[in-house]
Amino acid sequence: MARPTLLECNNVCNHARSFDLKNIASEWLEELEARFGAISETKHIQSEGKPKVFVFYFDDWPEPDLMTAITFGLSNSNHPDWKYGGVELMVSLETQDRSWGLAAAYFASAFFNERPFSFGDIFKVDDPISDESEMNAYLVYGSPFLEEEEDQIDLSDRTVFLKGMYPLYESELSLYERIGLSEFWNLDDLDILNPRRRPVQA
């Protein structure tokens, strides 16, 4: 499956500001394909009472055996902390399991208009995100494999910043809270792109 229909994209959000979503969806798809190549697959998810969020998958980007997934829908939010533009989420992992991208889209839908998805934010579910691993949480940080200016996408009605989502074990959350984002991120044994990695220890 490649692109969703523009009719599907036009139904992505009933909670957003007013804009021409058909044209914005088309722009977004063009921008993604210009950066990441052809879309391998498209899925969507909708939390109860919240807008639908799409997720676009790019297999073997930026290198073989990596999967990258990028959301569309979160940037329709009007979160007051977003002074310079909206946010969409990006997952890049050594996997082909679509669950990782769908989980990012779930958090985007579930916390639409509620949380800003700032660097260091943690999102967690009760069960493992994927059958590959016991990890059940995501850490928000810089977008993987992109330089600072590459994570900004300018559309006709908004600027969007791509932010990375990185899976964590629940057992790692207390360590993260104790040592903070910078020290946690630079731990020697944190193989952040491997969803089958072992939990890091204090």
Token pair for 39 = 């879309």
pLDDT digits (tens, 9 = 90+) for 60-86: 999 999 999 999 999 999 999 999 999
Does residue 192 form part of some domain?
A: no
Does residue 191 form part of some domain?
A: no
Q: Provide the residue range defining the domain that includes 159.
A: 6-185
- Our count of domains for the chain comes to 1
What is the residue type of 95?
T
Cα 31 from Cα 37, distance rounded (Å): 10
pLDDT digits (tens, 9 = 90+) for 111-148: 999 999 999 999 999 999 999 999 999 999 999 999 87
The pTM of the whole model exceeds 0.75: yes
